[in-house]
Amino acid sequence: MWRFSGNQLKRWRTKANVSREELAAASNYSPDTIKAMEQGVRMPTPRVLDVADELCGAEGILSAAKDYLSREKFPPRAQEFMEREREAVSHWSYEPTYIPGLLQTEAYARLLIDNHVPTLDEGTVEQRIAARMDRQALLTERKPPVALSFVVYEAALRAPQVDAEQLRQLLKASALRNVVLQVLPFERAIPAAFMGPMVLLETGDHERFAFTEGPLASELSADPEVVRRTTERLSMIRTQALRPDESAHFLERMVDRHD
């Protein structure tokens, strides 16, 4: 869809004899960014599509592409996981580096997404932030409630992006009846804790999925052996983590130091 929209953007611009520089100036982007959009390297943003539609006399055809592009709320490698997450009745996870997406404040999510490498365009940044916030309905709006269990390594809590507001968000989530939040302190870390983040999902049809994520690749698997190994690793980490009440006290002390 990115490539098709970019191709149409270029065709209409060329047909209307509008230069790439003119479109860039009118939409407040660089000519190189417009070129990347036309080549399908970047997603055309709503502003570019609306400006191009008016400059090229496309009569709404280019602007209409916004409805289709906005459906891709998540990176391609995460889309299948997000579909399974929406069906989940239980969700267990371990995160060694970042605050889990379901527990992030908008400010924290913006810092992460806005500093993504390679750089994302403004429209994609806003879209992904909104999508991440929408995911958090899983915490409180599902009936019956989803059983959620999070283990967060202390290093993720000590990152400079984590402020008092984010810590309070974790405490607020941990008070929910369907949420268990545990902190894995530095001194309790075991080798399994350094093998990357993971999520275990179970659906109402008793399907179980393991999701593991690395810097360049992610994998969602229903293979029983993969699910078993992931369950074993997550269980080992949970036994080393602080109890939920201890974790809440840990977070409260961190909040006090921030204040």
pLDDT tens profile 182-225: 999 999 999 999 999 999 999 888 899 999 987 667 888 999 99
**pLDDT at 75 (0 to 100):** 62
Q: Which of 83, 91, 76, 65 is nearest to 6 (CA)?
A: 65
Regarding whether 37 and 109 lie in a shared domain, the answer is no
**pLDDT at 76 (0 to 100):** 59
Regarding whether 237 and 218 lie in a shared domain, the answer is yes
**pLDDT at 72 (0 to 100):** 54
**pLDDT at 198 (0 to 100):** 96
Omega before 197 within 30 of 0, i.e. cis: no
- Please state the domain count of the chain: 2
CA distance 184 to 222: 27
Q: Lowest-pLDDT range, 18-22, 104-108, 125-129, 179-183? A: 125-129
Kindly report, residue by residue over 48-107, the tens digit of the pLDDT.
Answer: 899 999 999 998 888 888 777 754 566 655 667 888 898 899 999 999 999 999 999 999
Regarding whether 125 and 20 lie in a shared domain, the answer is no
- Which position has the higher pLDDT, 73 or 248? 248
Domain containing residue 35: 2-69
Which of 37, 69, 101 terminates a domain? The answer is 69
Q: Name the 3-class secondary structure at 142.
A: coil
Which of 12, 39, 69 terminates a domain? The answer is 69
Across 107-118, average pLDDT: 90
Predicted confidence (pLDDT) at residue 169 exceeds the cutoff of 90: yes
Burial 207-232 (b: 16+ CB within 10 A, else e): ebbbbbbeeeebebeeeeebbeebee
Regarding whether 103 and 40 lie in a shared domain, the answer is no
**pLDDT at 118 (0 to 100):** 80
